[in-house]
A and B are shown apart, each in its own frame.
Chain A
Amino acid sequence: DAGVIQSPRHEVTEMGQEVTLRCKPISGHDYLFWYRQTMMRGLELLIYFNNNVPIDDSGMPEDRFSAKMPNASFSTLKIQPSEPRDSAVYFCASSRDTPGATNEKLFFGSGTQLSVL
């Protein structure tokens, strides 16, 4: 399996533009997570899905952020409009079962480095 695949690896955009980040989880994994990495806050959970259904989006910073998972093999995180403070590395991760279960670990994608100018 190729692992969790994220695209693009790098995104540079101007303030006000729409940004869409993409993620393909590992086949057979029922859980998908979006995290944001910043110096100030570390790895922050934004939203997670179970069987394509959003379970908890309380970490999404504001209405400018939205996430979808139309099927088991694809998810998007959209920022519209983007702002400079959104600049961060955005990670997607997947797991076969809940991370609370024995030996169930997260597999991370390579991340998207977002720079909003």
Chain B
Amino acid sequence: ILNVEQSPQSLHVQEGDSTNFTCSFPSSNFYALHWYRWETAKSPEALFVMTLNGDEKKKGRISATLNTKEGYSYLYIKGSQPEDSATYLCAFYNQGGKLIFGQGTELSVKP
């Protein structure tokens, strides 16, 4: 069974705070690590797809890093805004050919 673990499960921050959360995945047979943003009543939308150890991706105030040797990825949000409130999902793709999602980190940003 492939386990993708995300922590924390939920996070409450004030507007302007910077925050980060973690995705842990099996380090063997790694192909890709995806991050998705899922707002309430909408569909998940892709943020990043990372495939190489040491990859760093950035989109506005959001960035992500990848360590395939130890099996983790971090997602950072700089200066959180209320519109960043969403569930952030990571998903792991390995040689088996399946994209397996973690349970997500629910972020709430208070004005």
Query: Do A and B assemble together?
Result: yes
In this complex, the interface size class of chain B, counting residues with CB under 8 Å from chain A, is 20 to 34
Give min CB distance, A3 to chain B, whole Å. Answer: 9
Interface window among B17-25, B64-72, B101-109: B101-109
Interface members, chain A 26-76 (any B CB < 8 Å): 33, 35, 42-43, 45, 48, 55-56, 59
Interface mask (A73-117 → B, CB under 8 Å = 1, otherwise 0): 000000000000000000100000011111111111111000000
**Inter-subunit contact A99/B43 (CB<8 Å):** no
DSSP majority for the A interface? Answer: loop
Pick from B44, B99, B102: contact of A99, CB under 8 Å: B99
**Inter-subunit contact B49/A56 (CB<8 Å):** no
The number of residue pairs between A and B whose CB atoms lie closer than 8 Å in the complex comes to 59
User: Given A105-B49, A108-B43, do A42 and B103 touch, yes or no (CB 8 Å)?
Assistant: yes
Give min CB distance, B27 to chain A, whole Å. Answer: 15
Report the Cα distance A104→B34, complex, angstroms.
9
**Inter-subunit contact A45/B98 (CB<8 Å):** yes
Report the Cα distance A42→B57, complex, angstroms.
25
Give min CB distance, A10 to chain B, whole Å. Answer: 12
DSSP majority for the B interface? Answer: strand
B62 surroundings in chain A (CB, below 8 A)? none
Instruction: Name A41's closest neighbour in chain B (CB-CB).
Output: B103
Instruction: Name B103's closest neighbour in chain A (CB-CB).
Output: A42
A55 surroundings in chain B (CB, below 8 A)? 97
Give min CB distance, B53 to chain A, whole Å. Answer: 13
Instruction: Name A111's closest neighbour in chain B (CB-CB).
Output: B43
User: Given A91-B43, A109-B43, do A100 and B31 touch, yes or no (CB 8 Å)?
Assistant: yes
B-binding residues in A (CB < 8 A) = 33, 35, 42-43, 45, 48, 55-56, 59, 91, 98-111
